[in-house]
């Protein structure tokens, strides 16, 4: 389970740091949605780091929220935090609120709920975004080889929906054939990236982008989801 250091409020899990890319690609962000609260590690960090921004968290298991309050310093009464105990896809289907960024980190072990991976789900996420909005998704997959289907299917699906799609490799040194944390970013609109915040703060993450990532997979849909998740 992820954790935050108490003294510096720093994220100890590398993949969680990549969620901060929202502030690089869309520094005017005010309202963020996170699907998958788990121990609320990132939301707690977010509330401490970004004092001028709000975050809503969709977490299907209310017991996780109680544990986060008890053991992980979550203040559920923070005025900049909204908590919704429901399925993430249900929220994407029915919610009418607009966001500047959507973060997705919903897993059971290494498997993601298929209903959050499909074209219909990703399209709904895009519709919830304001102009220049960003979706950042944690994907556990190999980059290449027999275990790479997940990222390749999702890359094709995101490319069908978003004008710009990027893939980042979180951990250096792992072979491309090994399952690992990959970060998939979809950007709404023709963002020219000229108004980004201080690039030096994000340089290491930006340098980990997998340039010219390609996929020969079809998109996944609610009716056809062959990812095996």
When comparing pLDDT for 50 and 190, which is higher? Answer: 50
Residue 113 has pLDDT above 50, yes or no: yes
Residue 74 has pLDDT above 70, yes or no: yes
What is the SS3 assignment for 167?
strand
Task: Report the candidate in 137, 114, 109, 104 with the shortest Cα–Cα distance to residue 229.
Answer: 114
Give 15-73 pLDDT, tens digit per residue: 999 999 999 999 899 999 999 987 899 999 999 999 999 999 999 999 999 999 999 99
Write down the number of H helices and E strands in the chain. 8, 7
What was the pLDDT predicted at 229? 46
Q: Map out the domains of the chain with their CATH numbers.
A: 14-206 (3.40.50.150)
Task: Quote the DSSP letter at residue 140.
Answer: E
Give the pLDDT mean for 186-203: 77
193 Rama sector, left if φ>0, alpha if ψ -120 to 50, beta otherwise:
left
Give the pTM: 0.92
Give 146-167 pLDDT, tens digit per residue: 999 999 999 999 999 999 999 9
Q: Yes or no: say if 116 and 106 are a contact pair by the CB < 8 Å rule.
A: yes
Residue 195 has pLDDT above 70, yes or no: no
Least confident of 12-16, 59-63, 97-101, 192-196: 192-196
What is the SS3 assignment for 190?
coil
Cα–Cα distance, 136 to 93 (Å, whole number): 18
Residue with tokens 């919610």: 95
What was the pLDDT predicted at 114? 82
Q: Yes or no: say if 86 and 59 are a contact pair by the CB < 8 Å rule.
A: no
Going by pLDDT thresholds of 50, 70 and 90, the confidence category of residue 108 is: low
When comparing pLDDT for 102 and 110, which is higher? Answer: 102
When comparing pLDDT for 158 and 111, which is higher? Answer: 158
Task: Tell me the C-alpha to C-alpha distance, in Å, between residue 112 and each of 49, 93, 154.
Answer: 28, 18, 11
Residue 5 has pLDDT above 90, yes or no: no
């Amino acid at each position: 389970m992820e954790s935050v250091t108490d003294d510096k409020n720093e994220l100890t899990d590398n993949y969680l740091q990549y969620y901060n890319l929202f502030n690089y690609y869309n520094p005017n962000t005010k309202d963020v949605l996170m699907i998958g609260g788990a121990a609320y590690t990132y939301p707690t960090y977010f509330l401490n780091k970004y004092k001028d921004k709000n975050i809503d968290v969709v977490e299907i298991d209310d017991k996780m929220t109680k544990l986060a309050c008890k053991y992980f310093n979550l203040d559920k009464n923070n005025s900049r935090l909204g908590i919704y105990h429901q399925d993430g896809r249900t929220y994407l289907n029915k919610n009418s609120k607009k966001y500047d960024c959507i973060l997705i980190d919903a897993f059971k072990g290494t498997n993601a709920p298929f209903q959050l991976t499909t074209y219909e789900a990703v399209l709904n996420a895009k519709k919830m975004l304001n102009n220049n909005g960003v979706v950042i998704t944690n994907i556990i997959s190999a980059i290449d080889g027999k275990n790479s289907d997940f990222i390749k299917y999702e890359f094709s699906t995101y490319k069908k929906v978003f004008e710009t799609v990027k893939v980042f490799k979180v951990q250096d040194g792992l072979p491309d054939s090994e399952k690992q944390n990959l970060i998939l970013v979809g950007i709404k609109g023709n963002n020219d990236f000229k108004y980004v915040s201080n690039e030096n703060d994000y340089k290491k993450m930006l340098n980990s982008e997998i340039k010219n990532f390609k996929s020969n997979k079809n998109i996944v849909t609610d009716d056809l989801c062959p990812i095996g998740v």
